[in-house]
């Protein structure tokens, strides 16, 4: 019998312990945000000679000059924050919904603003007394839990009952709006009710407003049983919900951390048939799966930050260096976090819009900023891209990622910036 205490003492002495650097743990996310991988080059620096030191000093001077210049230029490009008038476009006109940073800074984080996809018209859409989001891709519906509202504030769906009634679910929307801008997909239950995993079911939900009678309640149709839901992590999610394309993509991640992809399924919504699936357990580690709006293309991102794109029948149709974070509406262009292969700091690399079939970069965002999300223009070719501005913490708050503003860019398929705003966050995408 091995004595546990003796074994513990032996192992702890053998493995030793070196305390972390001063300041570690105090502001971990902000340190990440401003310093990225500060240790990656430590070994090279230890081996540096005088020549390298001189080169580093020159390089530093150049970088400082460039950063200061770029920062000055960059600041002048930001549209001045202001509270616009009410949005004047028709209720059906697609808009990008967002929370304006200026509004947040005034202590009113519940005002939802909208901007048209040509970047020309913006203004207040609605003000609610609770947190809002997400929205559908046209920005015609958004969640104000436990309701789904349209832009006039009319309740078109209810989230309070059904799977939302379970204990510990919390007050957030677990669905994904479909590309018909009305239905949404969800996987139920959101958490296993017992200590062990339970089978997950993909559902297509029709909000109650469709029936013209809000008393009917939302109607959920079971589509297919895919994956296993764990007790504490919502590890089976919808990656695409396309009523127009009759497809959905469901992704199961590891049940403990939710950070590694186990398997995903491309499902025909009308029949529940699994069109194709990839089981990644035991194979190459995939950290993320991103699907195009219609589920025709699926990007698998591996642990080194490279992407393989699979086509409608599940065969590989493209490879990219970097992590695909989203697709344009027709799937031809991808929003890529251009992380160098071999490093896992993908979130701190440069965001690009890339035509993935030929690798042509049509737009490149600011260097070393965090790609936070993207949204395709419904029925169009532009992309709304959120990039976290690490240089300007909100009110000096660097305690978390939410302490940084997001710059929302509207980028055309040719790479032209049609509009940009400094926002707190985008509701869609």
Partner 1 sequence: MAPLMFPAYRLAFGMLRNREEAEDAVQEAALSAWKHRETFRPGADPRPWFFAIVANRCRSTRRNRWSRLLRQAEPTGQSRPAPDVEGDLDLRRAVSRLRHDDRLALVLRFYVDLPYEEIATVLGISEAAARSRTQRAVRRLRPELGEPGEQI
Binding residues for partner 1 (CB under 8 A): 1-2, 4, 7-8, 10-21, 24-26, 28-29, 31-32, 37, 39-40, 42-43, 46, 168-170, 172, 191, 231-235, 237, 253-260, 285, 303-304, 342-345, 347, 400-401
Among residues 25 and 107, whose Cβ is nearest to partner 1?
Answer: 25
**What's the min distance (Å) between Cβ of 315 and partner 1?**
27
The CA distance from 248 to 265, in Å, is: 8
Task: Determine how β-strand 351-355 pairs with β-strand 333-337.
Answer: antiparallel
The DSSP code for 377 is: P
And the tokens for 64? 């400082």
Q: Cα–Cα distances in Å, from 408 out to 64, 75, 335, 416, 418?
A: 25, 14, 14, 14, 11
Among residues 343 and 418, whose Cβ is nearest to partner 1?
Answer: 343
The CA distance from 93 to 123, in Å, is: 13
Among residues 32 and 417, whose Cβ is nearest to partner 1?
Answer: 32
- Long-range contacts (CB closer than 8 Å, 24 or more residues apart) made by 211-219: 214/155, 214/158, 217/158, 217/161, 218/157, 218/158, 218/159, 218/162
The DSSP code for 135 is: B
**What's the min distance (Å) between Cβ of 370 and partner 1?**
9
The CA distance from 429 to 17, in Å, is: 43
The DSSP code for 175 is: -
Cα–Cα nearest to 379, from 92, 4, 42: 92
Burial of 45 (C-beta count, 10 Å sphere; 0-12/13-18/19+) = exposed
**What's the min distance (Å) between Cβ of 296 and partner 1?**
25
**What's the min distance (Å) between Cβ of 425 and partner 1?**
13
**What's the min distance (Å) between Cβ of 75 and partner 1?**
26
Among residues 39 and 273, whose Cβ is nearest to partner 1?
Answer: 39
**What's the min distance (Å) between Cβ of 401 and partner 1?**
6
**What's the min distance (Å) between Cβ of 201 and partner 1?**
18
Among residues 2 and 72, whose Cβ is nearest to partner 1?
Answer: 2
Inter-residue contact 429 to 326 (CB < 8 Å): yes
Among residues 18 and 213, whose Cβ is nearest to partner 1?
Answer: 18
Among residues 117 and 164, whose Cβ is nearest to partner 1?
Answer: 164
Among residues 243 and 299, whose Cβ is nearest to partner 1?
Answer: 299
**What's the min distance (Å) between Cβ of 171 and partner 1?**
9
The CA distance from 61 to 295, in Å, is: 47
Secondary structure of residue 399 in the 3-state scheme:
coil
């Amino acid at each position: 019998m091995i004595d546990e205490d003796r074994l513990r003492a032996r192992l702890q002495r053998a493995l030793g312990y070196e305390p972390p650097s001063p300041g570690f743990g105090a502001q971990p996310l902000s340190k990440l945000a401003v310093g990225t991988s500060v240790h990656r080059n430590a070994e090279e620096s230890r081996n540096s000679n005088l020549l390298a030191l001189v080169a580093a000093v020159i390089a530093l001077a150049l970088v400082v000059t460039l950063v200061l210049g770029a920062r000055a230029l960059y600041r002048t490009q930001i549209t001045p924050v202001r509270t616009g008038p009410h949005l004047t476009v028709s209720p059906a006109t697609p808009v990008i919904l967002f929370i304006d940073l200026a509004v947040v800074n005034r202590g009113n984080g519940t005002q939802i603003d909208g901007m048209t996809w040509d970047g020309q018209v913006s203004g207040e859409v609605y003000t609610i007394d609770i947190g809002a989001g997400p929205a559908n891709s046209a920005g015609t519906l958004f969640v104000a839990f436990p309701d789904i509202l349209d832009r006039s504030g009319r309740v078109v769906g209810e989230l309070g009952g059904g799977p939302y009634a379970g204990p510990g679910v919390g007050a957030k929307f677990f669905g994904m709006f479909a590309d018909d801008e009305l239905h949404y997909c969800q996987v139920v239950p959101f958490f296993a009710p017992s200590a062990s995993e339970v089978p997950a079911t993909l559902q297509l939900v029709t909000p109650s407003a469709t029936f013209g009678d809000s008393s009917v309640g939302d109607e959920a149709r079971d589509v297919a049983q895919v994956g296993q839901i764990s007790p504490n992590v919502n590890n089976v999610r919808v990656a695409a919900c396309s009523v127009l394309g009759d497809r959905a993509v469901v992704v199961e991640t590891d049940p403990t951390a939710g950070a590694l992809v186990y398997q995903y399924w491309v499902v025909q919504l009308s029949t529940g048939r699994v069109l194709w699936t990839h089981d990644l357990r035991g194979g190459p580690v995939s950290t993320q799966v991103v699907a195009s709006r219609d589920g025709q293309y699926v990007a698998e991102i591996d642990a080194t930050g490279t992407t393989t794109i699979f086509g409608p029948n599940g065969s590989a149709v493209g490879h990219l260096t970097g992590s695909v974070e989203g697709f344009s509406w027709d799937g031809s262009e991808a929003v890529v976090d251009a992380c160098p292969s071999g490093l896992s700091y993908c979130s701190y690399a440069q965001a690009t819009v890339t035509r993935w079939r030929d690798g042509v970069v049509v737009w490149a965002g600011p260097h070393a900023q965090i790609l936070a999300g993207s949204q395709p223009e419904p029925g169009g070719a532009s992309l709304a891209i959120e990039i976290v501005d690490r240089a300007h913490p909100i009110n000096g708050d660097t305690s978390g990622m939410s302490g940084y503003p997001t710059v929302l860019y509207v980028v055309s398929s040719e790479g032209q910036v049609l509009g940009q705003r400094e926002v707190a966050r985008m509701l869609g995408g």
